[in-house]
Amino acid sequence: MSNRIAVVPGSFDPPTLGHLDVIRRAASLYDSLHVVVVHNPGKEALLPIAQRLSLLEQSIAETGITGQITIASWSVGLLVDYATDVGAGVLVKGIRSQIDVAYETPMAIVNRHLAGIETVFLLPDPAHTLVSSSLVRQVASLGGDVTPYVPEAVARFLDTGARGI
């Protein structure tokens, strides 16, 4: 395992500017970055995984994030299995609040115990602290303007293809 390879996991349902902020900063810290759409059995997804992958690809390209970035999905087994398979030594998670810290800390400890994978928490740009995918979904479903919260590709998709959220 290498600490020069990192995995940024998330549901990305849909990707937000906060997600891209974490991806951009992680890409500058690690030689290789795997952005992984994970299936969360505790959440009912709005967008199919293939759509989330496409929106991530478009958003990363449009915002000019550079580096060796792989976009993938993972729905079978533990996330640390994916990280181990690709030789990653680090998971990178964005933390917006104490609630996120309380939720992520036990997983970070278990991941380190299971596979020796460390978790690095990145604090968001203050402009993105209160933005979540679920908030974006709610605003979009009520016809509100989500452009301040999501990349252009996501705003276009939500405006043209997903008004029935």
Q: Which of 4, 28, 39, 43 is catalytic?
A: 43
- The neighbouring-strand residues paired with 9 are 36
Q: Which of 19, 52, 93, 128 is catalytic?
A: 19
DSSP alpha helices (H): ranges in 30-132? Answer: 49-63, 79-86, 98-115
End-to-end CA distance of the chain: 40
- Closest listed residue to residue 139, CA positions, set 165, 110, 112: 165
Catalytic, 43? Answer: yes
- Closest listed residue to residue 132, CA positions, set 97, 91, 90, 92: 97
Cis peptide bond upstream of 14, omega within 30: yes
Q: Which of 24, 96, 112, 156 is catalytic?
A: 96
Q: CA 2, CA 42: separation in Å to the nearest integer? A: 30
Catalytic, 96? Answer: yes
Catalytic residues: 19, 43, 96, 133
